[in-house]
Structure 1
Amino acid sequence: MSPRRQSADRAPNQIDVARVAGVSAQTVSRVLSGHPNVRPDTAQRVHAAIETLGYRIHAAAASLASGRTRILGMIVVSTDRYSSAALGAGVEKAAAAHGYTVTTASVADHSSSSAFLEAFDRLERQGAEGIVLGVPVELDSPAMRARTERTPSTRSEVASLQPDAPLLVDQHAIGRLAVEHLLDLGHRTVWHVGGDEYWIEGRHRREAWEQVLSERGIVPPPVIPGEWTPESGYRAGRTIAAIPDATAVFVSSDEMAFGLIRALHEAGRRVPEDVSVVSVDDIALAAYASPALTTVRQPFEEMGRAAALRLIAHIEGTDAQGVSDLHPELVIRASTAPPRT
């Protein structure tokens, strides 16, 4: 009788997995509990047998047997932004591949430290062994340090909570790619629509914009504030439309750029003939905007995957395998062009 045929008669158990993998039931238990003293090739055979049989771990029983929950927590802002969904997908895929499940807590106000701390505590009570922080939070506050001493955590865009931790994606590099592209096309200056300043990504992009302009001997114009939403981009676009000599704009997210382009169109300012626009993220809609959007791509799903893998490695006391810092990529489309003479 084949393993698949047998599994149709009754639910497979650990003894069935041990038989197919050619190991003892105790070894199967060690693999499922994440025991460090298991050879990689043995663990691979066990996982292959689990997949063949369609064996499903009973989470409560596994927790009682091992003293571990194998749960990762993730804190996100309540939003419909594409980036949050893609990050979450990356975290969940990496967690599932290593026998973890993911539980999520959302906060409506990312600037509220009490809301964030309550979400962190809620995930701890639910048994999270580690937490991915998909929200902007001050990492050096006493309350934050107290919690991360109890439960290991990582930001979705940095490798750990240490101040000198390497970035998964260098946000300064993102800003530099965008601004240098516009200046190299011949624009005399670049205006900037910033993201929410509470987010470290937005601050780093603004710093890069200022630095590149200063290196070229250009005094940066005033920053136009944004809030990551198309509505805030629309308001910024109306501001840009009222500045006759504004020919190039670096927008801190694709979603804000959509609103900005709409406002420019309504004001009779053409993109890119009158105003060139570069943004950040390269979400799926960017290629189908009118005009197609020049943007700096961020690999959101890979960022989530890398954050989860580094967190799992920290929990299990191993080295993170298959994780390296990710590099942004400038994707040139139809929303940028040299300025009109």
Structure 2
Amino acid sequence: MANIFDVATEAGVSHQTVSRVVNGDPTVRPATKARVDAAVSKLNYRPSAAARALASRKTRTLGLISTGGPLFGPSSIMQGFDGAARQAGYQVSIASLPTDDVTTFAAGMRSAVDALLGQNVEAIVLIAPDTAGIDAIRAVDVGRPLVAADSTASEGLVSVSLDQYAGAVLATRHLVELGHRRIVHVGGLSTWTDARERERGWRDVVTAAGVEPLPVVRGDWSPESGYRIGLDLADRAKRGEITAVFCANDQMALGILHALSERRIRVPDQVSIVGFDDVPEAAHYIPPLTTVRQDFAALGRQIMSTVEALLVPQGAPPVVQAAPAPAPALVVRESTGPAPA
């Protein structure tokens, strides 16, 4: 494998000049740069990332901390950001923190930040759908630009997010327009900011329709919790207490569909169901699920664009900002229909 000295010999220049060229030094004469570029291409030279970092004092590495676990939303945001970062020429170091043990969570956050700073990351992105993650990062002296995927725009943090409230309004309004008035909301964990925003959207729409909101039923985002909730909802549907369900994510909606089918409650003839996220399997549920689609790839690009803007040196031209992530969109399928007479 060719090294920097081989390139210097081929181009007839010093290895310091090769280093200046590969690190983008604008003072190198065009003719010299052309010779070095030709030698790099001929020898298939790949400069050392560590050497470039020492020369430029930039590692082109970003840190990513996630507290959302393997759930579809947080993991999709992680994937979207990682793809956008790599397209921009950055590597991403990832730390995932479980939130099940609150006594060790704050220490875990400090350790994750310390590990990333030890890799000399240029900025840190936090994907923390729960308030514990936001509170924990606030207690740490990050010392780097920090961007959070936080739907409530917490004070003191640079936040980028999708509009959870708007998505919930779309879902609930769809049910109201179909004539439903007894709409129950199956919410996620109350510590999650996204769950609170989706509940707020549902509550505002049913209240505006002149309906007293039914008590919220909470799950833990899993299909199993949806199934347990669905067994109770089936009994309530038989008694005519509910005609529609707005579920805070598609996985819980899957469990509810299972329970309703088991109890022989017809969807959507007796109960309509709307989910949230539009997971790839949602179109193949039985029946196919009406849900709210979110553009996680666009959110990843927006987060990366925000990071780049924070990294621009003072006095340098601003970076071109990515377009804001589009608003959530309602995807109507066969799980919703007119309210029963």
Indicate the TM-score class for this superposition, using the shorter chain for normalisation.
Answer: 0.7 to 0.9
Aligned to 2:31: none
Match among 167, 177, 191 for residue 174 of structure 1: 167
Which amino acid in 2 is paired with 1:327? Answer: A
Q: Would you say the 8 A contact 2:146–2:157 is kept in 1?
A: no
Letter in 2 for 1:108: P
Distance 1:331 1:51, change over 3 A: farther
Q: CA deviation at 1:55?
A: 5.7
**Does structure 1 residue 277 correspond to structure 2 residue 266?**
no
User: Residue 52 of structure 1: CA displacement?
Assistant: 11
Taking only the aligned residue pairs, the percentage that are identical comes to: 35
Task: Tell me if the contact between 1:153 and 1:161 (Cα under 8 Å) persists in the aligned partners.
Answer: no
The answer for the alignment partner of 2:14 in structure 1 is none
Distance 1:305 1:277, change over 3 A: same
Could you list the per-position Cα deviations for residues 104-155 of structure 1 after superposition, in whole angstroms to 9, with x for gaps in the alignment? 111121653333333233222222221111122458758616534x122212
Deviations 1:202-227 (A, max 9, x none): 11111111111111111111100111
Judged with a 3 Å threshold, the aligned counterparts in structure 2 of structure 1 residues 284 and 52 are, in CA distance, closer, same or farther, namely farther
CA displacement 1:279-324 (0-9 Å, x = unmatched): 1101100111111010000111221222122112212343452231
- Equivalence for 2:243: 247
Residue number in structure 2 paired with 1:156 = 149
Runs of 5+ in structure 1 lacking a partner? 1-9, 39-45
Q: How does 1:15-164 map to 2 (within 5 A)?
A: 25=18, 26-30=20-24, 56-77=46-67, 79-109=69-99, 112-135=105-128, 136-137=130-131, 141=135, 144=138, 146-148=140-142, 150-157=143-150, 162=155
Other-structure match for 1:204: 197
TM-score by length of 2: 0.81
Q: Which moved more, 1:115-124 or 1:272-281?
A: 115-124
Greater C-alpha Rg: 2
Residue 186 of structure 2 aligns with which residue? Answer: 193
Q: Which whole-Å deviations, capped at 9, do the CAs of 1:25-65 have from their partners, x for residues lacking one?
A: 5353137xxx9x99xxxxxxx99x99999764422112221
| TM superposition score normalised by structure 1 | 0.81
- What code does the residue aligned with 1:187 have? H
Aligned length: 313
**Kept after mapping to 2: 8 A contact 1:233/1:260:** yes
CA contact (8 A) 1:238 1:263 kept: yes
Give the aligned residue type for 2:188: G
Q: Which moved more, 1:74-83 or 1:122-131?
A: 74-83
| Partner SS, residue 104 of structure 1 | strand
Question: 1:329 corresponds to which residue?
Answer: 329
Secondary structure in 2 aligned to 1:281?
Answer: coil
Question: d(CA) in 1 for partners of 2:233 and 2:43?
Answer: 61
2:223·2:251 contact (CA, 8 Å) conserved in 1?
Answer: yes
Contact 1:130 1:311 in 2 (8 A): yes
Whole-angstrom distance in 2 between the partners of 1:296 and 1:223: 19
Q: Cα distance, 1:232 vs. partner?
A: 1.3
Alignment check: 8 A CA contact 1:154 1:161 kept: no
